């Protein structure tokens, strides 16, 4: 997600998505989907684990052909295309960055789904949509980066229709288990000084007006995913260094090894959240 104006740390945390070399590294290592995956088999690849998530979310949220979905932080619209192809629903794929909107536009056109998917540049804290326009608000590992998460949830509630659903996945934190240095490093990566656990997200959802909230703890998949990222770099390091630069590759490998250790120690987690507009 692009830098957010309300967070002092966001330039540190998210400029990696805008820099050309960093973007190439992310695309090549993550495989086009910059989202965590559900690893259910030793034979899973990064692509299959990550592609499994939107289908699981859609099933749990009851997505269907009549839904009008807004996806926040869509990136190259891979999830939006999955939803349109599988369910035939309408989707607005949003990004904060105009450059990422262009990526989404190109991917949507190439996939042949511009009759169901449109894209927009949008700030999650001030969305440019009418009240009650959508039946589903969708985000994957995006809301953790917001400088004002309460505003983000308020906007999600506003743009949803009566009985609309919010569905998102998010990295969670247990700052009480972390050292001061670990907390600072995670906050810098998030671009937000608040380090929220599952209960903090649920509380914010309910404060915004969402009811019938439910969650699923997918934290066991997190260390597996970060380990896979590290292996991808180790297995292709020389080629990645030639394309993206030695310093960048070393820095990202260190970041993902750090995250893998935190996940193994239960200091960070990953959760699914679903709520209904009351």
The confidence score (pLDDT) of residue 28 equals: 93
Q: What is the pTM of this model?
A: 0.92
Q: What is the separation of C-alpha 114 from the centre of its chain, rounded to a whole number of angstroms?
A: 22
Do 1 and 17 form a contact (C-beta atoms < 8 A)? yes
Strand-strand pairing, 268-277 and 160-173: antiparallel
The H or E element containing residue 231 is helix 220-235
The confidence score (pLDDT) of residue 166 equals: 98
Q: What is the mean pLDDT of residues 70-82?
A: 96
Tokens 């019938």 sit on residue: 212
- Side-chain-side CA neighbours of 34 within 13 Å: the count stands at 19
**What letters, b where the CB count within 10 A reaches 16 and e where it falls short, cover 16-46?**
bbeeeebbebbebbbbebbbbbbbeeeebeb
Strand order in the sheet with 268-277: 117-121, 90-95, 68-72, 134-140, 160-173, 268-277, 210-217
Q: What spatial distance separates the first Cα and last Cα of the chain, rounded to whole Å?
A: 29
* Tokens, residue 99: 């450059």
The confidence score (pLDDT) of residue 31 equals: 85
Do 273 and 169 form a contact (C-beta atoms < 8 A)? yes
Name the DSSP letter for residue 25. H
pLDDT digit string, tens, across residues 8-21: 333 334 444 557 89
CA distance 203 to 155: 16
Tokens 């193994």 sit on residue: 264
pLDDT digit string, tens, across residues 133-190: 999 999 999 999 999 999 999 999 999 999 999 999 999 999 999 999 999 999 999 9
pLDDT digit string, tens, across residues 222-272: 999 999 999 999 999 999 999 999 999 999 999 999 999 999 999 999 999
Which residues, other chains included, contact 123 with Cβ-Cβ below 8 Å and sequence gap of 6+? Answer: 4, 96
The confidence score (pLDDT) of residue 229 equals: 98
**What letters, b where the CB count within 10 A reaches 16 and e where it falls short, cover 182-214?**
bbebbbbbbbbebbbbbeebbebbeebbbeeee
């Amino acid at each position: 997600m692009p830098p957010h104006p309300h967070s002092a740390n966001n330039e540190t945390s998210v400029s990696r998505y805008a820099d050309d070399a960093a973007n190439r590294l992310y695309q090549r290592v993550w495989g086009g989907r910059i989202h965590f995956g559900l690893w259910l088999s030793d034979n899973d690849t990064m692509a299959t684990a990550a592609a499994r998530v939107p289908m699981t979310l859609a099933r749990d949220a009851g997505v269907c052909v009549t839904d009008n979905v807004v996806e926040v932080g869509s990136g190259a619209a891979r999830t939006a295309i999955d939803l349109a192809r599988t369910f035939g629903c309408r989707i607005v794929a949003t990004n904060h960055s105009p450059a990422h909107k262009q990526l989404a536009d190109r991917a949507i056109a190439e996939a042949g789904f511009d009759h169901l998917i449109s894209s927009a540049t949008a700030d999650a804290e001030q969305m440019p949509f009418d009240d009650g326009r959508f039946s589903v608000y969708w985000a994957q590992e995006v809301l953790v980066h917001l400088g004002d998460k309460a505003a983000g949830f308020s906007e999600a509630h506003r743009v949803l229709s009566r009985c609309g659903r919010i569905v998102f996945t998010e990295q969670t934190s247990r700052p009480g288990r972390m050292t001061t240095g670990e907390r600072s490093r995670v906050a810098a990566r998030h671009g937000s000084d608040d380090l929220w656990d599952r209960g903090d997200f649920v509380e914010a959802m309910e404060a915004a007006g969402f009811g019938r909230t439910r969650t699923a703890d997918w934290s066991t998949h997190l260390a597996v995913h970060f380990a896979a990222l590290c292996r991808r770099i180790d297995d292709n390091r020389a080629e990645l260094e030639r394309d993206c630069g030695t310093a960048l590759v070393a820095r990202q490998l260190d970041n993902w090894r750090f995250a893998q250790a935190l996940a193994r120690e239960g200091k960070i987690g990953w959760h699914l959240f679903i709520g209904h507009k009351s």
